[in-house]
Amino acid sequence: MKIRFSWPAGHLTATLEDTPTSKALAAALPISASANTWGEEVYFDTGVSVALEGDARQVVDPGTVAFWTEGNALALPYGPTPISRGDESRLASPCNVLGSFDGDPRLLATVRDGDPIRVELA
């Protein structure tokens, strides 16, 4: 499944795997939210509540589309966060891995704290 993220300075598409969290997210689309930034990560509330999946991870590759179950939020790392060790992308806590961005995830660097962000099926 492909989804599209849009914000004032850009947009990216991502490909999601077939997981319970991806299905729950797709059912809630489109979603509009206010973006938050944390180091080189963008995250925002989705209004979707799901359980932590068995393969949840805290350290992921830049460009991973992850779901932070503790905050009902999408977590979109494109580089190190304040708790990373070295250049890794370390999320606040283990997150469900949904998929990855199709383009350069560094475009997320143009998202500013408080920017409106929209997620829809691509």
Q: What pLDDT, in 10s, does the model give residues 18-36?
A: 999 999 999 999 999 999 9
Q: Read off the pLDDT of each residue in 42-65 and give the average, rounded to a whole number.
A: 97
φ and ψ at 70, to 5 degrees?
-65, -25
Share of the chain above pLDDT 90, in %: 100
pLDDT band at 72 (very low <50, low <70, confident <90, very high): very high
End-to-end Cα, the chain, rounded Å: 8
Alpha-carbon distances, residue 111 vs 35, 76, 95 (angstroms): 7, 11, 21
Buried b (16+ CB within 10 A) or exposed e, 16-40: beebebbebbeeeeebebebbbeeb
How does DSSP classify residue 103? S
Which residues contact residue 34 at a Cβ distance below 8 angstroms, ignoring those fewer than 6 apart? 44, 45, 114, 115, 116, 117
